[in-house]
Amino acid sequence: MYSKTSGPPSRWPERDARAGASRHVSLTPAPAPPSETEPGDADVSAQLLLAFAPLHKRALGLAIGSVCGLGVFALTVFHVIARPGYALNLYLLAQYFYGYTVSWQGAFVGAWWGFFTGFVGGWFLAFCRNFAVAASLFLSRTRAELEDTRDFLDHI
């Protein structure tokens, strides 16, 4: 609806010409006929997708959860097998991970808790990142629209 080519003839052609560059990268719906698309459109679209595409929350949660779960498991197994005398007090994890002990059974409990904690952390990380990107997009779009209508009274 903001495209020069898709809407009715503009009432302010010089303003449209000035704002043309910013509209070119605007994310507002601007369907244009294929015959009028410029060669760089595909590049711009790909760059926009690369820059602003959201992260998959569940996937990032699974990824970070897997790493955290494996990490706690490996750490516990190392302590069970090697029994280092002067090392971190790993049993203190039981303060946060209910049922955790430095044992083989505790390794699996810790893996589950590590996965759960990592999943929540990863999901929340992706959520925050997507929210920040969406907020910055919204601000940019609002700023561009305000810029477009700044000289509105000059054309009356």
Catalog residues that contact another protein under the rule CB under 8 A.
27-32, 37, 41, 45, 48-50, 52-56, 58-60, 62-64, 66-67, 71, 75, 78, 84, 86-88
Sign of the dihedral through C-alpha 126, 24, 10, 30: negative
Our CB check for another protein shows the closer of 12 and 23 to be 23
> Shortest distance, CB of residue 86 to another protein, whole angstroms?
7
- What is the b/e burial string over 115-151, where b = at least 16 CB atoms within 10 angstroms of the residue's CB? bebbbeebbeebeeebeeeeeeeeeeeeebeeebeee
> Shortest distance, CB of residue 147 to another protein, whole angstroms?
19
> Shortest distance, CB of residue 109 to another protein, whole angstroms?
21
Give the end-to-end CA distance of the chain in Å, rounded to a whole number. 22
Residue 57, classified by CB atoms within 10 Å of its CB into exposed (0-12), middle (13-18) or buried (19+), is middle
> Shortest distance, CB of residue 29 to another protein, whole angstroms?
5
Our CB check for another protein shows the closer of 48 and 94 to be 48
Residue 98: phi and psi, rounded to 5, are -60, 130
Structure tokens at 2: 């903001």
